Structure 1
Amino acid sequence: MNERELPLTALRAFAVAARSQNLEAAAKQLGVTHGAVSKQISALEEWLGQSLFSRQGRALQLTPYGNVLADRVADSIRQIGAACDYVRRDHSYRVISVDAPATFAMYFLLPRIREFEARHAGLSVWIATRLTGQTADFSRNDVVISRGSLAKASVRIGPARHLFEEKLTPVSASSLLRELPVKCPADIWKHKPIASSSRPGDWEAWFERARLGRPLIEGGHRFDHLHVALHAVRDGLGSTIAPRQFFDGTSRRYRLRCPLPDVCYPGESFYAHSTLQPIAAPVEIFLTWLQEQCGFAER
């Protein structure tokens, strides 16, 4: 059925009349005349080709078809009302929507969000993630975080705010490090290397920085994305190369550590952009806090 054909005003009048079982009471609730409600219900019955009420004086009695329609319409109206109440929430409560790369969101942003919301009552952060190669959603988010520079194209966004430059180093599960400790770069040979297709060449670059020659990773685990590779690391299947900044104190929940944090090489930089111009005060608060958190991670 075409949505344009639905007699929504008549359906609302019917729902109120079915609930009150009296046209005068329904008219009072709707703020219209008795005749207006009667006309709406008659039009609805004609459109449906079914009688909805049997009239007994001033009282209304639902017909079997009327009962079916009344239950469904009442439930739909309750759902619509709940949705409107949710959207029309307290104006003192503000949601900040953030579009971020999946690994950054999972390992850097999510572990810190509760601290931000506790510090700033009335502000809440909703996060949407994207994978490498996916386009950021500028239209539905207040903040977009990017790995590497973000081409502005025709989208109007705020100036890039530098968050940090990746310091790429091996990351291992605490359980694996207890079994196979890593005290010097050569000890990493004990671990099976886990690679990700979204970050090709990371192991080779780290081995070069550590002066270990070239790694032998043929036949090893290789996943399409770093955040999937990190799941394998958490399961103790081996180690991977990832930004050191993701695995400071907040990574304890994942039981992941960087055994050689000082043996690293520089990767891409992360930036944050506001999509609102001018920038709303809550978004400015979030961006300032985010840069502060990134500053702590750099130390």
Structure 2
Amino acid sequence: MLPPRRFLPSFSLLSAFEAAARTGSVTAAANELGLTQSAVSRQISALEKQLGVALFLRERQTIKLTLAGDSYAREVREALRRISNASLNLRANPAGGTLNLAILPFFGTRWLTPRIGRFLDLHPGMVVNLITRLEPFDFRFDTLDAAIHFGAARWPGAALTHLMDEDTVPACSPDFKARHAISTPADILRAPLLHLSTRPDAWELWFNRNGVAFDAVHGMLFDQFTTMVEAARAGLGAALLPRFLIARELEEGQLVQAAEGLAMPTGQYYLAYLPDRVSYPPLVAFRDWIMEEIRSDALALKGAIGQ
């Protein structure tokens, strides 16, 4: 339910206020909006009167946001941005079939983006906008319909559809494996290791899982899987990497499994969305499609292992 009309200023008043707040000048705001200075001043005054709050401090020919005005400007700017994005999406796809999807960088680059064309071929007219995100966000205050989430099944206020489990394997270049004479999990401990900053204890967990005693684990630190994969390919060290995301490198021989050992389950991937979007047609179509892609991958992997 919308608030009473008296709390909903007109778009023209908000636009004049936002422009003046952003530029710090009534003159600059007037030039940007194609209005006169007096027109912008009147609109700002009308907004202050409607709200009952002073938004600017006026000193001679200059203006400065009040504390309340500064806070209000931030929220108005975000609201106008969301309206602008919604309008652009509608113009790009008048049928309304737009899905704004937040993705994890490595998952999006390696797994999803190369496949998304198949989804678009199956659903002509739909548009998928991909936005890279590393951390969960609040759906209530963002212009996103869904997100790919990794980790525990926790996202306050969101519904979660389980996509797949992830397990990691130690991987390195063939030359690196030969150079360090790696054949067992214990041998890896003697070689340079690559670490991901968001999973700082991954190697410790893997060595414990495979019964390898150690005092400390050192090595290079990376903040993205993408750069860590390239470092492993370049022979800089061994890395714990999600098996399904390095399938191409393993198949082409750019990377090899450093040693046979127990694969380590590291978490799950989920599709997250607000419960009231559960029947949104683009989301329904995407959810059905991605689940089928994952099932096909699992069957292909099972077939490869059985050969």
Q: Find the counterpart in structure 2 of residue 214 from structure 1.
A: 214
| Corresponding residue of 1:91 | 94
Secondary structure, counterpart of 1:268 in structure 2: strand
Partner SS for 2:168: strand
8 Å Cα contact 1:193/1:240 also seen in 2 = yes
Give the drift of 1:164: 1.6
Match of 2:237 in 1: 238
What letter matches 2:136 in structure 1? Answer: T
1:167 aligns with 2:135: no
Equivalent residue number for residue 285 of structure 2? 285
- Residue 111 of structure 1: SS of its match in structure 2? coil
Q: 1:196 to 1:114 in 2, by over 3 A?
A: same
Q: Output the amino acid matched with 1:229.
A: M
Work out whether 1:263 is the aligned partner of 2:262: yes
Q: CA deviation at 1:233?
A: 2.1
Give the residue type in structure 2 aligned to 1:208: N
CA distance in 1 between partners of 2:115 and 2:215 (Å): 34
2 CA distance for matches of 1:277 and 1:171?
39
**Is the 1:136–1:144 contact (alpha carbons within 8 Å) kept by the matching residues of 2?**
no
Give the drift of 1:195.
Answer: 0.9
Matched with 2:197 is 197
**For residue 295 of structure 2, what is the amino acid of its counterpart?**
G
Provide, for residues 60-97 of structure 1, a one-character-per-residue CA deviation record: whole Å limited to 9, x for no partner: xxxxxxxxxxxxxxxxxxxxxxx977751343473322
Q: CA deviation at 1:287?
A: 1.2
What amino acid does structure 1 have at the position aligned with 2:264? Y
In the other structure, the counterpart of 1:135 is 136
Distance 2:282 2:250 in 1: 27
Q: Partners of 1:204 and 1:108 in 2: how far apart?
A: 27
3-state secondary structure, aligned to 1:165: strand
Question: Any idea what SS the aligned residue of 1:273 has?
Answer: strand
Distance 1:117 1:177, change over 3 A: farther
Secondary structure class of the residue paired with 2:288: helix
Matched, 1:123 2:126: yes
Q: Do the aligned partners of residues 120 and 250 (structure 1) sit closer, same or farther apart at CA in structure 2, a change above 3 Å counting?
A: farther
Tell me the SS of whatever aligns to 2:113.
Answer: helix
Matched ranges for 1:146-185 at <5 A? 146-153=149-156, 155=157, 157-158=158-159, 160-173=160-173, 176=176, 184-185=184-185
Whether the 8 Å CA contact 1:192–1:238 is kept in 2: the answer is: yes
Aligned to 2:57: none
Residue 100 (structure 1) aligns with: 103
Name the structure 1 match of 2:117.
Answer: 114
CA–CA distance in structure 2, aligned partners of residues 149 and 104 of structure 1: 17
C-alpha distance in structure 2 between counterparts of 1:293 and 1:120, whole Å: 15
- Following the alignment from structure 1 to structure 2, what is the Cα–Cα distance between the partners of residues 175 and 109? 30
Matched residue of 1:125: which SS? strand
Letter in 1 for 2:100: S
Q: Which amino acid letter does the alignment assign opposite residue 274 of structure 1?
A: Y
2:168–2:264 CA contact under 8 A, matched in 1: yes
Q: TM-score, length-normalised on structure 1? A: 0.59
Post-superposition Cα deviations, 1:190-239, rounded to whole Å, max 9, x if no partner, equal: 74210122112211222223333337533x21224444433422433112
- Deviation of 1:295 after TM superposition, in Å, equals 3.2
**Deviation at residue 293 of structure 1 after TM alignment:** 2.7
SS, match of residue 214 in structure 2: coil
Query: 1:234·1:254 contact (CA, 8 Å) conserved in 2?
Result: no
Aligned length: 227
How far apart, CA to CA, are the structure 2 residues paired with 1:257 and 1:225?
A: 20
The CA deviation at 1:259 is 5.1
Query: Paired residue for 2:63?
Result: none
Distance 2:174 2:95 in 1: 43
Is this contact kept in 2: 1:247–1:257, CA < 8 A? no
TM-superposed deviation, 1:253? 8.8
Alpha-carbon separation, structure 1, partners of 2:98 and 2:253: 27
